[in-house]
Structure 1
Amino acid sequence: MASQERSMPFIKNLASSDRKIRTSALASLHTFLSSRQISSSLTTLDILKLWKGLFFALWMCDRAVPQQTLCAELADLINVLPRHAVIPWLRGFWATMAREWTSIDVLRMEKFLLLVRRVVASGFKWMKKSDEGKKKKSGKETVWDMQRVDNIIDLLSEWPFALEDEARVEQGTEKEELVPQTIPVGLRLHVLDIWVDEAEKVGLLEADDVEASKILQRLIDQVDALEQATTRPAVRIRSKDSLEDERLPGNRKSAAEEDQATTGGGDGGDWDGFED
């Protein structure tokens, strides 16, 4: 693959602890991916090979700050891609994570957990319109791009929230070796742990945003469907736990309930012990 061969020198440099080398490599990667001619010609196999290179760039990246920076930079790559190339690119990410997840040792797992969190967050942010200045007649900004919302939710249902453990593999092609046969339980559990956090950060839990509430409900329905369909006890338990998050609609305590919990309920008086 010609495109991958051209990209590999700067992909390897992304793992450098030297900030100048890493910055230069990132700029080269941005230029490479932002070219409409190149991004339009990338096949599924090209994207999978590129993500394999990016995965091992993070694998080789040492020290906390460079690792955190690289995770953020890789997650933000969707912002330099043409719109039509974002979902194929993210699909390649999820396939790569699913393929490599069980090979990640305990010493490296933390940085890949962070990468997944950053990519989930970037996907949620990408659901917003690029021009948030347009307003409804009510005066509120219309910030959600529903086509992008559909794309991201469909992608989550295809990978971490998929109802079946089997991944979608095209048999008899070169891609087969780069697409996992199953979706690892650990990857599912991590996304179930973080999705409410990242939904809150992007504004999906805002009660006065009707569109956000509808999007949030679609995500809740996905997790609920996963809880009902999965045959994995750990996934079922973690799905239920995430649905019971007190920040989600229906789980939020009223002011009176919070006050009662704070004061301990009852008559609020001191306990003088048992009467004789």
Structure 2
Amino acid sequence: MENAPFIKQLSSNNRVVREKSLEALQKVLVSEPFMKSKQAQYEKLWKALYYTMWFSDRPRPQQKMARQLGELYSLYGTVGDNKSDDITLSDRAFLKFCRAFWKVITLEWFNIDRYRMDKYLLLLRRVFFNQLKYLQTRQWNEELVEMYITKVLKHSPLSGSAKVYNGIPFHLIDILLDEWERLVSKRDDEFEVEDEITDAEEIANLVKETPLSQFIEIFTDLRKDYIVSKGIRNKIKEDLLSDERLVSWGAIPVTEETAENDEEEQEEENAEDEPEAEWKGF
């Protein structure tokens, strides 16, 4: 991977060159030497893949490219022991590849113009889905899930840092439950699936077997942190935590205590919005 021409080919403005390089990359990603590479090598790779998407034009090729780039994460499910309780070499490579994507997309987000934004939103959706899919392939290994949450999501896209443009956490808030439902129901946004699960009760039971509540906790923590921008906190409350699916899936309980907390937070927010009374002196 240290070979510069290979990186340049992935970010070539020639479609044929990009596609051949992407095909060759699949073998490199799961090779033992590359899986043992340092984090910087993964970041160089994702910087090249970022431009692979950049030069992809027209809706159909963009959809195909977003899908192909997202499915690179699934390659790690084809090597190693998916039933192992220990963190494997594939797991560590997967985590480094995850961190690389979020770091690159966070740094480059400001440079994405409005004409290219839609395809990068799609890329983010496909990548996030396939990252979750790998965790599912690993049977939601507790240690791996915890590492993914702390070393990947909380490290960058959902860190609450002002350095992360709001568009990234906003989009994650928008897609989290949809992609989680798609994951357990085996639904595909582009193709028909014969064994797709459509029964709402069955989907709810399947979701209950997943660690969705741990992911929701990331957002509840962000909502309680008043250093985080008010826009993000409001969106979490209005577009995520108010979603009825969370209750039916058992990911968030509805209690009198939570209702009281909501009222208290609303009062605090209203107080923030009220203009200070003018001081007229003694």
TM-score by length of structure 1 reads 0.71
Shift of 1:250: 5.7
Map Cα deviations across residues 27-72 of structure 1 (whole Å, 9 max, x no partner).
Answer: 21112212111221x2222222211111112111111111111111
Letter in 2 for 1:76: E
Aligned to 2:157: 160
Q: Using the aligned pairs only, state the percent identity.
A: 28
**Contact 1:4/1:49 (CA < 8 Å) preserved in 2?**
no
- For residue 149 of structure 1, the aligned residue among 122, 141, 145 is 145
For residues 119 and 210 of structure 1, the distance between their equivalents in structure 2, rounded to whole angstroms, comes to 20
Greater Rg, structure 1 or structure 2? 1
Q: Which residue of structure 1 aligns with residue 241 of structure 2?
A: 243
Correspondences of 1:68-87 after superposition (within 5 Å): 68-81=63-76, 82-87=90-95
RMSD of aligned residue pairs (Cα, Å): 2.4
Per the alignment, residue 118 of structure 2 pairs with: 110
Kept in 2, the 8 Å contact 1:153–1:219? The answer is yes
Residue aligning to 1:187: 168
Take 1:244 and 1:43, find their aligned partners in 2: how far apart are those partners? 41
1:144·1:211 contact (CA, 8 Å) conserved in 2?
A: no
Matched, 1:66 2:65: no
SS at match of 1:87: helix
Seen in structure 2, the aligned counterparts of structure 1 residues 229 and 11 have a Cα distance that, compared at 3 Å, is same
**Gap regions ≥5 residues in structure 2:** 77-89, 186-201, 251-282
- The answer to whether the 8 A contact 1:7-1:32 is kept is no
Q: Distance in 2 between matches of 1:4 and 1:104?
A: 27
The structural deviation recorded for 1:4 is 4.5
Q: Distance in 2 between matches of 1:251 and 1:92?
A: 31
Alpha-carbon shift at residue 197 of structure 1 (Å):
0.8
- Any conservation in 2 of the 1:127–1:146 contact (CA below 8 Å)? no
- Name stretches of at least 5 consecutive residues in structure 1 with no aligned partner: 131-142, 167-181, 253-276
Aligned 8 A contact 1:75 1:115 in 2: yes
8 Å contact 2:43–2:101 — kept in the other structure? Answer: yes
Distance 2:184 2:14 in 1: 35
Contact kept in structure 2, 1:10 and 1:29, CA below 8 Å:
no
Residues 190 and 239 of structure 1: CA distance in aligned 2, closer, same or farther (over 3 Å):
same
* Structure 2: distance between partners of 1:210 and 1:11: 37
